[in-house]
């Protein structure tokens, strides 16, 4: 097969890939679609995997922009900081690194679970059922009634539950923040290990300490919730 035939076949495949790439980007402007089609036609060997393949599932969730709330952002930043500090270390074997990276992932997942519980509590506290002001107005309406009136007792019990949930939420937030600060503190120690001669044992020790402190915080939080 000569050069002309090769170029012809390349161009034909490129045309098909270019059209496919342009059709896939239907939401883009016409100019951008034309650019994508042109690029895909010329460089179709690198566009084709993107066009066809579906990635293998990674254990990472969506990109940072999709993470909601300041807490999620801070958890993501702490995770990144630890990974970056680990990646900067020399003298740590890659097999050890991969295990330690998995440990970081485990820690992050537990922190995200805690953050999700706080988000659940926030959403409950914003609902009308757990609205303190609504409960107070209901109690004010029943002001003339006797204290042992079942309706008054019911509203007061609701107000006590609302207060209990608020306290639980505040405590959960403090515990999570304590865990994040601990991670950041140990992460900075990890970063200093760059200048140590043999950081490997110290790396494992620090990450173990992080995992233990997060476990203590989350266990304390969950046992306080079940006691409540």
Taking CB under 8 A as the rule, does residue 80 contact another protein?
Answer: yes
Using CB under 8 A, which of the segments 87-95, 121-129, 147-155, 209-217 binds another protein?
Answer: 87-95
Taking CB under 8 A as the rule, does residue 6 contact another protein?
Answer: no
Tokens 């990635």, located at residue: 55
Judged by CB, which is closer to another protein: 41, or 155? 41
Judged by CB, which is closer to another protein: 89, or 135? 89
Using CB under 8 A, which of the segments 35-43, 132-140, 145-153, 210-218 binds another protein?
Answer: 35-43
Using CB under 8 A, pick the residue from 116, 181, 212, 228 that binds another protein.
Answer: 181
CA distance 171 to 164: 11
Taking CB under 8 A as the rule, does residue 77 contact another protein?
Answer: yes
CA distance 97 to 102: 8
Using CB under 8 A, pick the residue from 60, 146, 147, 227 that binds another protein.
Answer: 60
Judged by CB, which is closer to another protein: 91, or 201? 91
Give every CB contact of residue 91 below 8 A, 6+ residues apart in sequence.
Answer: 197, 198, 199, 200
CA distance 105 to 111: 10
Asked whether the beta carbons of 103 and 190 are under 8 A apart, the reply is: no
Q: What are the tokens at 89?
A: 């270390």
Taking CB under 8 A as the rule, does residue 81 contact another protein?
Answer: yes
Q: What are the tokens at 169?
A: 């939420």
Taking CB under 8 A as the rule, does residue 49 contact another protein?
Answer: yes
Taking CB under 8 A as the rule, does residue 20 contact another protein?
Answer: no
Sign of CA dihedral 85, 91, 95, 99: negative
Cα dihedral value 22, 24, 26, 32, nearest 10: -40
Judged by CB, which is closer to another protein: 1, or 93? 93
> Which residues ranging from 91 to 130 are in contact with another protein (CB under 8 A)?
93-95, 97-98, 100-105
Asked whether the beta carbons of 102 and 205 are under 8 A apart, the reply is: no
Determine the distance from the C-alpha atom of residue 153 to the mean position of all C-alpha atoms in its chain, rounded to a whole number. Answer: 42
The residues that touch another protein, with contacts defined as CB under 8 A, are: 36, 39, 43, 45-47, 49-50, 53-60, 62-66, 73, 77, 80-85, 87, 93-95, 97-98, 100-105, 177, 181, 184, 187-188, 191
């Amino acid at each position: 097969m000569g050069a002309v035939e090769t170029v012809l076949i390349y161009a034909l495949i490129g045309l098909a890939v270019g059209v496919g790439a342009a059709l896939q980007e239907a939401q883009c402007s016409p100019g951008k679609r034309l650019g994508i089609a042109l690029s895909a036609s010329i460089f179709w060997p690198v566009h084709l995997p993107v066009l066809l393949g579906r990635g293998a599932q990674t254990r990472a969730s969506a990109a940072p922009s999709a993470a909601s709330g300041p807490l999620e952002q801070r958890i993501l930043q702490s995770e990144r900081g630890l990974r970056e500090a680990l990646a900067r270390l020399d003298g740590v074997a890659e097999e050890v690194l991969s295990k330690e990276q998995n440990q970081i992932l485990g820690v992050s997942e537990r922190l995200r679970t805690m953050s999700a519980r706080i988000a659940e509590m926030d959403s409950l506290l914003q609902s009308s059922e757990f609205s303190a002001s609504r409960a107070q107005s209901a109690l004010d309406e029943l002001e003339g009634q006797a204290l042992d009136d079942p309706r008054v007792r019911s509203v007061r019990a609701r107000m006590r539950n609302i207060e209990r949930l608020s306290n639980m939420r505040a405590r959960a937030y403090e515990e999570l923040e304590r865990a994040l600060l601990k991670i950041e503190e140990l992460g900075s120690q990890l970063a200093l290990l760059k200048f140590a001669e043999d950081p490997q044992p110290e790396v494992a020790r620090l990450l173990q300490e992080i995992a233990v402190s997060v476990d203590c915080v989350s266990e304390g939080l969950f046992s306080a919730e079940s006691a409540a």
